[in-house]
Structure 1
């Protein structure tokens, strides 16, 4: 990513913070005004440190190529967001002849081989487990890791779950519990709580994924596998920590051999999982009115209407559990869940990036009204790039999370509730096709857009009910 010096960097800091916290390998190129009297001058190195990025500076034309290559290596090998500062005075200098040709391109990040002793212990612990659950996280988001975990779970009778960022990894597997944590359906939470062993594979097992520890039974053995030793036990105590690449570790355990066990996969459980784990199968009281649609009803209908081959970018807020859990995704690359920093306003830009990366899929941006208004300028980007995107705005005329946080204690809400906003009109101003949805019947316009032809992206201004906080928000507040 490249930005302007000074304000270009500060304007991008929230997104850079999200990237740094989620350990996204990213190189940020930022010109740097080093003259203190320049109006563009800020301490860019200090800004990087403040948000958890790694600051690097080009110091001379002679060393520029090597320093750039080192910055790329750090981003790739350490999975870090690196701010590469480019002083204006140095930019004007000539790189020595042949410097590019002599540069050594960064090698791919090497997979970490687990210690044989750790693999032996992990194998023995799995052999003793009667109700194991595997929870796969960001470190498992590769086809090779998925296949190895599926095979290992088959051997030991483990149920499969993911953290939110890895949702879709086990899509279609009959033993998948979908997401563990605040987004878990009642049956999924019950089965995870009933495990006698939980293994986090490339997963932090943080407060969200484990519901502040409430998904871990009193006698549950907790194991964590991660290719960074510092991650082991960072969020909760583990009985066994294994430093190693997820796929390599799973395959090394498989190589130890052993008979296939029933484990947690009892007769009839697969049918119960299929019938009661998906949120759309969980009964609920539809609170829709003639003026407002229940966000669950909306999300289920959109899941049916939109093509299955999709990539969904989700903003933050009270609404975010509805698209995250009711809109299915085809695999681990189907959900862009930028919640490491939990800032609102990043969802639309996230979906734009996903749309560019995956032009073979329908991009869907799921936003709250607060986040949509914060990021509205990116509607122009969608139109200008000609992206066939669906933007869904869950519009409750408020910062919903704040309403449900402050309201029960009687705090005034006028600063977090807004007058009704016609976000559909905003979308039309940017050249979108739009539809305002108050009832399921209004969704016919969405079906018509999907059927085509599509001359413009689609914005759905969904007027959703706002009578209570989302289920995941209630879980989060209980945890605090």
Structure 2
């Protein structure tokens, strides 16, 4: 689909930066996160002239990309981050890797030194040895916009690349001299979707396999979320009486209080044992990550139908007996319209599904100790459509990613690559993407301090994020791993600031919890206020979990 632009109007010069911004607006972008610099000032000027994009001043480039990443995950559209060249682009690299791991469509726009000095090693300010190579290595793709009249082609190609499965972050570097040069108007070319021809023969084979399955199971992931296939997953599960396992990224595809939703428990022994006695697996947009499969020790049925828009998913971690390459929602819709004559599932299979589903939840609950009260109070007070952002911390990893129920897609945000400290900026991007939603962040003191500067961004933007900070004096997950394996602690016990004073210095209301019994009333009050807030849970006072969490199996 092309989108026409008139180019320059009146006597003002229409520049490359104007074209870039116009292209972003044409693709539905409403917010951009970044750090202003001498090598991206023309782009900021163009955004201000255009007026359609909210400019969010992050305090660091890594945080800016995290914000853009979460914005895209929650909104279902593009995320946009803007950095400077050299060190600024380098600071963004780790967060671009996270967006790549999650398959998030992010457009990262960065400056570059003057065209005449690229690669000369003369020491031009903010120079970088091979910025384009670095950006290519940490994302899906990277482009250099080197000539003014390429602006429309480059922004169109970058956006289409980011949105084409497998989705991912795409960087565009623009030399500072090119950013201000005049360019021609004309169309942008945005593909509404990358359509892959449906395999009709494969579809018929899948239908025959599904019709004879007596113990089918569905495993759904982030690819199904990207496709918008939540309703189809639930409908097919009910039609087949097939339980649904989800990856971390697939949470919410089926409401987690549904009796057929096993959820994000694939690496639990009870689920692994259950899978071995199923006769058919239908996987939909699943990566089968190591930490979700006990380092691929989880065994799956011999008959495995896979649906994925990424051709490289074929036999990647588990073999497929049948692979359908294309859009998940399209295939599932076709299956539902043609699937008939499905035999009734035996009552003992229904009872087994309930036993497995309830069993893993009961076992995990017994490990929580005082945090069971905290978890239940969270779910009780939060609206069903609340967006729950989880940093890497003991409560998030142990129970927030499994027992704290999610009821719809795009309301669960986590670090897919497992990197600590990305939660706060992700919560900011999530809140701006969904301004009417309640956004809660679960974070530890160690992770919070990684990007603590973004607390200033949250305050400046007056975002009603509710932060629940679990303070255990350092890196709790790693401390537990060290304790279990080495019987000593190294570099995990950390000094923290006074979180109350820090938060209140930004005008953010703060409360401290020293007993699990205090939490429900305080949390419910904070949720109802819809204002920026921080609740610090002093874990040394509240107490430890009944069973220490030392990382997922296989890590």
What are the residue-to-residue correspondences of 1:145-294 with 2, within 5 Å?
Answer: 145-171=229-255, 172-182=257-267, 188=271, 191-217=274-300, 220-263=302-345, 266=348, 269=351, 272=354, 276=358, 279=361, 283-284=365-366, 287=369, 294=370
| Structure 1 residue 308, shift from structure 2 partner | 2.9
Partner of 1:27: 107
| Structure 1 residue 211, shift from structure 2 partner | 2.9
Partner of 2:396: 320
Partner of 1:120: 204
Find the aligned partners of 1:247 and 1:301 in 2 and give their Cα distance.
35
Residues 113, 248 of structure 1: 8 Å contact kept: no
Structure 2 unpaired stretches of 5+ = 1-80
Q: Could you tell which deviates more after superposition, 60-69 or 370-379? A: 60-69
From the superposition, tell whether residues 238 and 285 of structure 1 become closer, same or farther in structure 2 (CA, over 3 Å).
closer
What are the residue-to-residue correspondences of 1:4-83 with 2, within 5 Å?
Answer: 4-34=84-114, 35=117, 36=121, 37-42=123-128, 43-78=130-165, 79-83=167-171
Find the aligned partners of 1:275 and 1:153 in 2 and give their Cα distance.
15
What are the residue-to-residue correspondences of 1:363-374 with 2, within 5 Å?
Answer: 363-374=439-450
Structure 1 unpaired stretches of 5+ = 288-293
Find the aligned partners of 1:248 and 1:162 in 2 and give their Cα distance.
19
Q: Could you tell which deviates more after superposition, 263-272 or 252-261? A: 263-272
Find the aligned partners of 2:485 and 2:258 in 1 and give their Cα distance.
43
Find the aligned partners of 2:103 and 2:275 in 1 and give their Cα distance.
27
Deviations 1:305-362 (A, max 9, x none): 33333001111243322222233223011101222x2111111111111111112210
Find the aligned partners of 2:222 and 2:347 in 1 and give their Cα distance.
25
Find the aligned partners of 2:360 and 2:265 in 1 and give their Cα distance.
12
Find the aligned partners of 1:313 and 1:380 in 2 and give their Cα distance.
18
Residues 466, 527 of structure 2: 8 Å contact kept: no
Name the SS of the counterpart of 1:326 in structure 2. coil
Find the aligned partners of 2:552 and 2:363 in 1 and give their Cα distance.
20
If asked which structure has higher relative contact order (CA below 8 Å, sep 6+), I would say 2
Deviations 1:92-126 (A, max 9, x none): 31113xx2xx2233121233343112112212222
What are the residue-to-residue correspondences of 1:361-440 with 2, within 5 Å?
Answer: 361-410=437-486, 412-419=488-495, 421-440=497-516
Name the SS of the counterpart of 2:149 in structure 1. coil
Task: Say yes or no: does 1:87 pair with 2:169.
Answer: no
Find the aligned partners of 1:281 and 1:60 in 2 and give their Cα distance.
61
Find the aligned partners of 1:71 and 1:302 in 2 and give their Cα distance.
40
Query: Normalising to structure 2: TM-score of the pair?
Result: 0.76
Name the SS of the counterpart of 2:342 in structure 1. coil
| Structure 1 residue 265, shift from structure 2 partner | 6.3
Q: Could you tell which deviates more after superposition, 245-254 or 355-364? A: 245-254
Task: Say yes or no: does 1:2 pair with 2:78.
Answer: no
Task: Say yes or no: does 1:446 pair with 2:531.
Answer: no
From the superposition, tell whether residues 115 and 331 of structure 1 become closer, same or farther in structure 2 (CA, over 3 Å).
same
| Structure 1 residue 62, shift from structure 2 partner | 2.1
Residues 77, 108 of structure 1: 8 Å contact kept: no
CA RMSD between the two structures: 2.7
Query: Normalising to structure 1: TM-score of the pair?
Result: 0.88
From the superposition, tell whether residues 215 and 331 of structure 1 become closer, same or farther in structure 2 (CA, over 3 Å).
same
Residues 17, 53 of structure 1: 8 Å contact kept: no
